[in-house]
A = this chain, B = another copy of it.
Amino acid sequence: MGNAVGIGLIGTGYMGKCHALAWNAVAPTFGDVPRPRLVHLGEVDAETARRKAAELGFAKSSGDWRAVVSDPEVDIVSVTTPNQFHAEMAIAALEAGKHVWCEKPMATSEPDAMRMRDAARASGKVAVLGYNYIQNPATRHMKALIEAGTIGTVTHVRVEMDEDFMADPAAPFGWKSDAGSGYGALDDFAVHPLSLLAVLVGPVRSVIADMAKPYPTRPLSGGGARDVETHDIGNVLFRLENGASGSLLVNRSAWGRKGRIAVQIFGSKGTLTYDQERMNELQLYVAEGLAAEQGFRTILTGTAHPPYGKFIPAPGHSLGFNDLKVIEAREILRAISGEPAHLIDFETGLTIERTVHAMARSHEARGWIEVH
């Protein structure tokens, strides 16, 4: 195990747990890489760090994240802390010569994201963002189909992302309704569909956005109400670099939607659709053969859709959301070894961030904005 990579982890919330599970599972699952060594875990205090290290399987722990970043046994730093800390930690890790796996969104401001991108460039290290939806064998197969020309030239794209955690108007005013938390649904959601678009159909060139508040006020716990400052709904029309038109609709007050990311990609020879709520399926329509036999095919992912077979030897048995992180970990190991990898690096990540900010500016300007 001398050549096994050493893992540092900062943060042990849900995503920290996911990273730890992924680093634990990547070798048994793929069977073609040495088992990474879980070296050093950083948390807000020494006691939490020690407890979590035991639970997650890390050898060392520390109440100071800088100890993780500077640990010579650490090769990769997983950054899973709240968004406002991403820039500082990722840049420090890169400057210490570590590879970085940072959770999305990249940063809370465009300048921070630019500094991260610059640090990644300067370091020459692997610096990637945790956009796990792109790792799904279903979405990877969509990419393969598009690249193979199965649906021809992409002519039109629609994406929706909806959940309902802000749907109840009786829920009291919270930090997500405070302007300090950002734009609203645009921050929470838009980066995910944009990561899929980046991978599947390339970058967005121009946007026009209309953000909306389904509930202008929210009750205060102590009585009374307060004006909502963020937008739970975002409606965007866009054009891709190739000129194709599209729409991006996000709503975090959409009753009944739990993890919907509905993608429709129309091409000159066929159509692909996908919904994250049924993440083990994709739908393919190909305009060939007899008209009487054409229809959308529900393709269940299986061993024909890599790397599904590394998880389960039989098709149609379903991967889970957390499995996507294991695939991502494998891709990072691949990138570190200099192999081609399927990831969103800080370069593309910055483009995604800029697209979101362009949307917000478009809403203010009430007109089209070029992204650049």
Using CB atoms and an 8 Å cutoff, list the residues of chain A in contact with chain B. Answer: 1, 14, 17, 20-21, 24-25, 27-29, 31, 34-35, 54-57, 141, 144-145, 150-152, 155-156, 158, 160, 163-165, 167-169, 208, 210, 212, 214-215, 233, 235, 237, 239, 244-247, 249, 251, 253-260, 266-271, 276-281, 283-285, 287, 290-300, 302, 304-305, 311-323, 366-368
Q: Is the beta-carbon distance between B293 and A244 smaller than 8 angstroms?
A: no
Q: Is the beta-carbon distance between B249 and A266 smaller than 8 angstroms?
A: no
Q: Is the beta-carbon distance between A255 and B287 smaller than 8 angstroms?
A: yes
Q: A258-B300, A295-B299 are in contact. List 10 more A-B contacts (CB 8 A).
A: A21-B29, A25-B25, A152-B169, A208-B210, A259-B317, A284-B295, A291-B304, A311-B321, A319-B321, A366-B367
Instruction: Report Cα–Cα, A261/B167, bound state, in Å.
Output: 25
Task: Look across to chain B and name the residue whose beta carbon is closest to the beta carbon of A302.
Answer: B258
**A267: B residues at CB distance < 8 A:** 255
Instruction: Report Cα–Cα, A177/B56, bound state, in Å.
Output: 45
Q: Which of B214, B292, B294, B322 contacts A155 (CB 8 A)?
A: B214
Q: Is the beta-carbon distance between B55 and A315 smaller than 8 angstroms?
A: no
**A319: B residues at CB distance < 8 A:** 318, 320-322
- Identify the 9 closest CB pairs spanning chains A and B, nearest first: A258-B316, A320-B320, A256-B285, A155-B214, A259-B316, A295-B297, A212-B245, A292-B304, A295-B299
**A294: B residues at CB distance < 8 A:** 256, 297, 299
Q: Which of B57, B210, B247, B313 contacts A249 (CB 8 A)?
A: B247
**A20: B residues at CB distance < 8 A:** 28
- State whether A247 and B235 are in contact (beta carbons under 8 Å apart), knowing that A25-B25, A295-B298, A319-B320 are contacts in the complex: yes
- State whether A27 and B55 are in contact (beta carbons under 8 Å apart), knowing that A254-B266, A258-B302 are contacts in the complex: yes
Q: Is the beta-carbon distance between B270 and A255 smaller than 8 angstroms?
A: yes
**A258: B residues at CB distance < 8 A:** 300, 302, 314-317
